[in-house]
Amino acid sequence: MYGQEFGQDIHTVQNSNTHNINTSLDMRRLYKYIGLEKKPTRTVRTRTRGAGGPPGQQPEGNQKPKNSTKAGTKLLNAGIDIVTSIKRVQINYSENNGTFLPGYTLTPGFVGTLKPSFGFTFGSQNDIRQEAARRGWLTTFQEFNQQFTQTHSEQLDISASLEPVRDLKIDITGNKTYFENFAENYRVDPLTLDYIALTPNTFGNFNISTVLIKTAFSKSDETTSDAFNDFRANRLTVARRVAAARGADVNDVDAEGFPRGFGKNSQAVLLPAFLAAYSGQDPNNVKLDAFRSVPIPNWDIKYTGFMKFAWFKKNFRRFSVTHGYRSSYNINQFQTNLDFNDINYSLGYDAPENNDTKDQSGNYKNERLFSNINLMEMFSPLVRLDMEMKNSMKILAEIRKDRLLSLSFDNNLLTEVIGNEYALGLGYRIKDVRIKSKMAGPKKRIVSDLNMKADISVRDNKTIVRYLDLENNQVTSGQTIWGLKYSADYAFSRNLTAIFYFDYAFADYAISTAFPQTTIRSGFTLRYNFGN
């Protein structure tokens, strides 16, 4: 990109670099290499002498198994199963960086490609603005208004497969995403050739996996919430910690007992207090910074070992129990506080000349501003029973639970969305159903299986707005949805299938201004597959 202003050629230089690390570890090979393998169970037999007769003429006795050796091997193998429970580990990390510098005055060429620096040409992100300005490589046009920008992004994904005992499989996942964009206008002093930054601004977003299970089942409805009450109470403890960490006098308090400059609605106080309350942490130990370095793993668990027992073998073809958990901490957007004065901030909070360090509420200004932060939690599912009986009956029973918490720093409101869902699925196959039909050609008797499925579900959603400074919780939206789905299919031939379906849904809304709604869909579908 280039242009011309007052006879001066204006160009743009930019670079980028990417770093990727992809690691996959097959732990089974490692265990085999170091000899950490299960031992075969062998039965050792000993001979016993028969009764009567002189020595040497006694009949050969029975051989009896020596169970102690077998039991010891089983115990050893059980220990090896636990030690070698991690079967696979995968870590993927990617980082992208880029710099965009407008106002560059040199003409690109073979030699010019190594400027403004050798490192910049090969993707280095070191700051070259001041050096380029002093060498006269940046425009001195005072009305130049293109922005210098730098971007930085990180993506970390971690997964592992565990099998601590046979038939129990655990998949663990963790992730972190960070994006940051820095932008500023600038000008170069034509006399000193100094680079002068104008309104530098950084903005971005952040997401990391976490765990909120400690408060997942605490009481929370439109009248009260245990975690929200903890949130309110945590503010004083966190305010004292923040004040102490920043060198303020914790004993100089306002009318509500909070250290001056760190009131109950300060962003620096609310964010850690909120995270401590809903993650079940001690407010005395919660991290005060908004960002987290290490993702906390989530998981999926599946157990199929019930089929080892005689009763399950007798009555079921398949029986499994599944559980899954997902949770994340998300900052939708953070940005530089343009009113923040880092020089005054470091000189002391209460100096009379530093009154601009406080906002209109009397709280010290923060270096970064957050619009809102979100905590998401989902049991997907909380528990699921998947079974098939010997009589061809299939049963799927499932419970799901989720919640979304969004704290706004603009109005100090907490929006909580709670969802609970219960589902029961039934399936049955009637074998060799005989009918006479012309659907697949001349009238003839067709023998095929009739497959039937029925799903019953109920889901309850509720959105509650909670006020930090008022005893006022409001249900702003929500609904209870009942659903029934039934389908039956019959194959007239390899290519032609007839399907009957019936869907019923009833929604009862949580607020009086919305009327109940019923939806019914039903009909037949003929499906023909072309080809063999």
pLDDT of residue 349: 45
CA angle 133, 137, 141 (to 5 degrees): 75
DSSP state letters, 135-148: TT-B---TT--PPE
Neighbours of 273 (CB within 10 A): 28
**Residues 472-484: what's their mean pLDDT?**
92
Q: How far is CA 398 from CA 179, 426, 482, 506, in A?
A: 37, 12, 15, 20
**Band of pLDDT at residue 17, cut at 50, 70 and 90:** very high
Would you state the pLDDT for residue 352?
36
The mean pLDDT of the chain is 86
Helix ranges restricted to H, 187-309: 226-245, 267-279
User: According to the model, what pLDDT value does residue 342 have?
Assistant: 59
Give the whole-angstrom CA distance, residue 184 versus residue 186: 6
How would residue 54 be classed by pLDDT, with cut points 50, 70 and 90?
Answer: low
**pLDDT tens across 325-345, in order?**
999 999 999 998 888 765 444
Return the SS3 of 367. Answer: coil
Alpha-carbon gap, residue 500 to 248, rounded angstroms: 72
- State pTM to two decimals: 0.83
User: Within 13 Å and on the Cβ side, how many CA atoms surround 22?
Assistant: 1
Radius of gyration of the chain (CA): 34
Residues 153-173: pLDDT tens digits? 999 999 999 998 889 999 999
Q: Given this model, what pLDDT does residue 344 score?
A: 44
Asked if the model's pLDDT at residue 5 lies above 80, the reply is no
Instruction: With H, G, I as helix, E, B as strand and everything else as coil, classify residue 344.
Output: helix
- Return the higher-pLDDT residue of 469 and 531: 469
For residues 73 and 524, give the distance between their C-alpha atoms in angstroms, rounded to a whole number.
61
Q: Give the DSSP H or E segment for 342.
A: helix 342-347
Instruction: State the pairing for strand pair 195-209/298-303.
Output: unpaired
Least confident piece of the model among 115-119, 181-185, 270-274: 115-119
Domain map of the chain by residue range?
1-46+63-156+174-203, 300-335+368-528
Q: What whole-number distance in Å separates Cα of residue 263 and Cα of residue 364?
A: 9
Which residue is listed with tokens 């219960």?
422
Long-range (24+ apart) CB contacts under 8 A made by 64-68 are none
Contacts 24+ apart (CB under 8 A), 481-485: 481/457, 481/505, 481/506, 481/507, 482/457, 482/458, 482/506, 482/507, 482/508, 483/455, 483/456, 483/457, 483/458, 483/459, 484/454, 484/455, 484/456, 484/457, 485/453, 485/454, 485/455
Q: What is the DSSP letter of 515?
A: -
Q: Phi/psi class of residue 56: alpha, beta or left (left: φ > 0; alpha: ψ in -120 to 50)?
A: left
CA–CA separation, 20 vs 512, rounded Å? 54
Question: What is the largest distance, in Å, between two alpha-carbon atoms of the chain?
Answer: 126
**pLDDT exceeds 60 at position 199:** yes
